[in-house]
Amino acid sequence: MKVAVAGQGAFGIKHLDAMQNIPGIEVVTLAGGNPAGTEEVAKRFKIPHWTTDLAESLKQPGVEAAILTTPTQLHAQQAIQCMEAGKHVMVEIPMADTLEDSERICAVQKKTGLVAMAGHTRRFNPSHQWVHNRIQKGELKVLHMNVQTYFFRRTNMNAAGKPRSWTDHLLWHHSCHTVDLFAYQTGDQVTHANALQGPVNPELGIAMDMSIQLKTAHGAICTLSLSFNNKGPQGTFFRYICDNGTYVAYYDDLVDGDQNKIDLSNVAVSMNGIELQDREFFAAIKEKREPNSSVQQVLPTMRVLDKLEAAVGREGKAPLKKRISS
């Protein structure tokens, strides 16, 4: 299968690394945000074609699918562009930064019938899969998810320490992981959603600290704390408080409440959540089925984010949607 990747930044590289482990997948074109960086990454991964124009990438011979790891503010526009060009698409989390744009993506997916998937990697991390499998067997029930998402990001830099051309967002990006995972693991609808935010950073135009509370129809609760001000361990720590044990997940690792490491080696064919996510995307295309984490499946999460944004007020969103070449 010939694949186009859009985005030469830190997350684009994670996907390119992952796809090297998936048989039968060939990345034939890379569309990036700047020529120098795009050419450098294309040479590193031996990608024969690179450009700063996504439309040019989508026209490359034989391209069937695209993976978008571009700035959040471009996700909806580019996901629709890919589907209208007849390409299956996986768009990194979040699929959009408004409910309206998320609904537009879903409408185009229904119209075209193409595979359209959102990059909700937490569904695929072996740590969360282990918990999910036990829930499905009736061995665990989530009572309370306590989640901490912490970064030290007072300047507009990406995960690789390079300047961003766009502004990241605690609500529309980072809380999206947890809101979706909470509903996925409980198998229930989020019926209550409350949020508070700290002061808006005058330079970045976003709130740097947030507190979110969720509750499902059958009473499970989630407490989520997020910060770009935390100088310490970085990333997200998920504590599952269950009726039959407590577990703490950190990316692809899992320990129990006593810090004993859980063996995840038999959960999936890889220990890399991003690789597993990409494998699901390609498998769904080949098998002509809806993927786990399809845009339709995660639309309820975007509705919850919209409610949370209304709760904290619109000042929590970066006001400028920077555009790069499509």
Q: What would the DSSP string read from start to end of 195-210? A: EEE-PBPTTT-SBSEE
pLDDT at 160: 66
Strand ordering across the sheet containing 190-197 = 190-197, 209-216, 221-227, 142-150, 235-242, 245-250, 253-256
Q: Tens-of-pLDDT digits for all 326 residues of the chain?
A: 999 999 999 899 999 999 999 999 999 999 999 999 999 999 999 999 999 999 999 999 999 999 999 999 999 999 999 999 999 999 999 999 999 999 999 999 999 999 999 999 999 999 999 999 999 999 999 999 999 999 998 887 766 677 777 778 899 999 999 999 999 999 999 999 999 999 999 888 889 999 999 999 999 999 999 999 999 889 999 999 999 999 999 999 999 999 999 999 999 999 999 999 999 999 999 999 999 999 999 999 999 999 999 998 854 444 333 322 22
Q: State the alpha helices, DSSP H only, in the chain.
A: 10-19, 35-44, 54-58, 75-84, 99-112, 126-136, 175-186, 273-287, 295-312
d(CA 280, CA 277) in angstroms, rounded, equals 5
- Residue intervals of the chain classified under CATH 3.30.360.10 are 122-257+302-316
CATH topology of domain 122-257+302-316: Dihydrodipicolinate Reductase; domain 2 (3.30.360)
Q: Where in the chain is the domain with CATH 3.40.50.720?
A: 2-121+275-291
> What residues contact residue 33 under an 8 Å CB cut-off, 6+ apart?
7, 8, 9, 52, 70, 71, 165, 324, 325
Parallel, antiparallel, or unpaired: how do β-strands 88-92 and 63-68 relate? parallel
d(CA 214, CA 199) in angstroms, rounded, equals 22
Place of tokens 């030290």: 152
- Cα 15 from Cα 8, distance rounded (Å): 10
Query: Residue 13: its pLDDT value, please?
Result: 97
pLDDT at 314: 53
- Residue 208 is encoded by which pair of tokens? 């740097």
Q: Which residues pair with 94 in a beta bridge?
A: none
pLDDT at site 159: 65
Q: Which whole-number Å values give the CA distances from 324 to 76, 113, 224, in the listed order?
A: 13, 28, 32
Please tell me the class of the 2-121+275-291 domain.
alpha beta
